[in-house]
Amino acid sequence: MSNPIGNRKPNYKNKNMNKQKIGWIGLGNMGVPMAKNLLKANYEVTVYNRTKEKEQELINLGAISAASPQEIIQKCDIIFTMLTNDNAVKEVFQNETGLLSKPGIGKLIINMSTISPETSRYLAEISNNHQIEFLDAPVSGSVKPAQDGALIILVGGSVGNYERAKPLFDILGKSSLLLGDIGVGSSAKLAINYFLALNIQGLAETVLFAEKNGVSRENMLTIVNEGACGNGITHIKTPSLLANQYPVAFPLKLLYKDLNLAKNEGLDSPLFKPLFESFLQAKDNGLGDEDVMAIIKNL
């Protein structure tokens, strides 16, 4: 039977041959589920993690392991970084086997770690000096939204780079917003994490005040969640408050880090100061590796 487009039958086996090759650096609590979602979407994903054992889960699902960020910039078209903080990201860019240690003209690096707007602008500048494109794209949402591909991606950078990344953002998140120039994504992330910290602190204080005056924790959480004050965070944190156990989704030390970044950006509103002190104290009292909701143990 003749084929209307000649002999070019669709080749499903090679349906991904035109797809960009993806590099993923940083396989922590967030990086693992996010990179998994790209693999599930049939992208070729090459991963690098400083602690190599953490790559195994992804390799079992078909990811390729790279010896260094340098290998990633050589092999991949679009590279994501999902690392702890400013210093970690700078190291991965700048050390002798880092992302900028070999030519990568025209490639796109997308930083999704929460870092300062200033560091985002610095990374864009040093990348551009190597003719490498850069996007500032931290995320709102924790491990569960990362697993579900339901993050909100807060982007700073050019329209062209955003459009290039958009098909990948659509896999990782339920929405992505281009907010302005490089650094504006990071500023938005610091603002939403301030609001998150207010919610966490407020929920803990409310529950403790109620308990002290004879209202059970369970009843108080029902009142919060059934009424206008209930929100995503109060619902998500209710099971751990009821069990009084705080398995880590977002470690307290990382929220403290973000409050500190916000402080450095000039946040000094009336509620911010005591909030910052509360998280600093909780971290110093050994709660840094527990979930943010463990702030209640310090109050």
Q: Which residues are catalytically annotated?
A: 189
Query: How far apart are the C-alpha atoms of 143 and 137, rounded to whole Å?
Result: 17
Cβ proximity to ligand NAP: between 63 and 82 the closer is 82
Min separation Cβ 3 and ligand NAP, Å = 49
Contacts of 7 (CB under 8 A, 6+ apart): none
Among 70, 114, 120, 278, binds ligand NAP (CB under 6 A): 114
Q: What single DSSP character describes residue 12?
A: G
Q: Is 87 exposed, middle or buried (0-12, 13-18, 19+ CB in 10 A)?
A: exposed
Query: Residue 116: phi, psi to the nearest 5?
Result: -75, 150
As measured in angstroms, the least distance from the Cβ of 296 to ligand NAP is 18
Reading the block at residue 28, the tokens are 């922590």
Q: Which of 70, 142, 176, 238 binds ligand NAP (CB under 6 A)?
A: 142
Nearer to ligand NAP, 126 or 223 (CB): 126
Q: Which of 39, 41, 143, 267 binds ligand NAP (CB under 6 A)?
A: 143
- Whether 136 contacts 184, CB under 8 Å: yes
Q: With contacts defined by CB under 6 A, how many residues of the chain interact with ligand NAP? A: 25
For residues 73 and 79, the answer to whether their CB atoms sit within 8 Å is yes
113 binds ligand NAP (CB under 6 A): yes
Residue recorded with tokens 């090679």: 14
Nearer to ligand NAP, 32 or 275 (CB): 32
Neighbouring CB atoms inside 10 A of 96's CB total 7
**Structure token digits, residue 110:** 């997308």
Question: Which position's Cβ is nearest ligand NAP?
Answer: 28
The rounded distance, in Å, linking the Cα atoms of 32 and 34 is 6
Q: For ligand NAP, which residue of 20, 65, 84, 298 counts as binding (CB under 6 A)?
A: 84
Contact positions with ligand NAP (CB under 6 A) in 249-288: 249-250, 254
The stretch near ligand NAP (CB under 6 A) out of 36-44, 83-91, 208-216, 271-279 is 83-91
129 Cβ contact list (under 8 Å, min separation 6): none
Q: Considering only residues 78, 79, 82, 190, which one is a binding residue for ligand NAP as defined by CB under 6 A?
A: 82
Report the site for ligand NAP in 15-74 (rule: CB under 6 A). Answer: 26-31, 49-51, 54
Which lies closer to ligand NAP via its Cβ, residue 190 or residue 241? Answer: 190
Q: What angle do CA 74, 113, 175 make, to 5 degrees?
A: 100
Query: Virtual CA dihedral for 121, 20, 103, 172, nearest 10 degrees?
Result: 30
Applying CB under 6 A, which residues contact ligand NAP? 26-31, 49-51, 54, 82-85, 88, 91-92, 113-114, 139, 142-143, 249-250, 254
